[in-house]
Homo-oligomer: A and B are copies of this chain.
């Protein structure tokens, strides 16, 4: 559904929207350790999100990355579009190019409804909402939150 790269991007942004991190410069290596992601790989993902204006970053001592905008102004859909593009919101279930209302595949109508619901989910999910869920309800944004030691 989402690429691993995109999943890491979303997890990172939610992490940066948590009250403990917000407005701070957080090292990529710290995020990578917290979320169990390879640091250099995450560095490239962070850079992608910097390019599209979702994150900011500075190098050097006391450098790091942080949300470029208030958390309530960043939606999950922005991250998905930045990393995976609009493929998942447009693509035919059977991968047929040019599948649309006038020239549909047999799944087109039902699949369009699913895609709309998917889009609505990502559009209605702002980082502050997601971070609040994680914070208030102790929800998970990484593997084995309560099993680590």
Q: Does A133 contact B (CB under 8 A)?
A: yes
Which B residues are in CB contact (< 8 Å) with A103?
Answer: 140
Q: Give bound CA distance, A94 to B125, whole Å.
A: 14
Give the A interface residue count (CB, 8 A).
41
Copies in the complex: 2
Which 9 A/B pairs are nearest by Cβ-Cβ distance? A106-B133, A106-B130, A110-B121, A106-B139, A114-B117, A105-B140, A7-B94, A114-B118, A7-B95
A residues near B (Cβ < 8 Å) are 1-2, 4, 7, 10-11, 14, 76, 88, 91, 93-99, 103-108, 110-111, 113-114, 117-118, 121, 124-125, 130, 133-134, 139-144
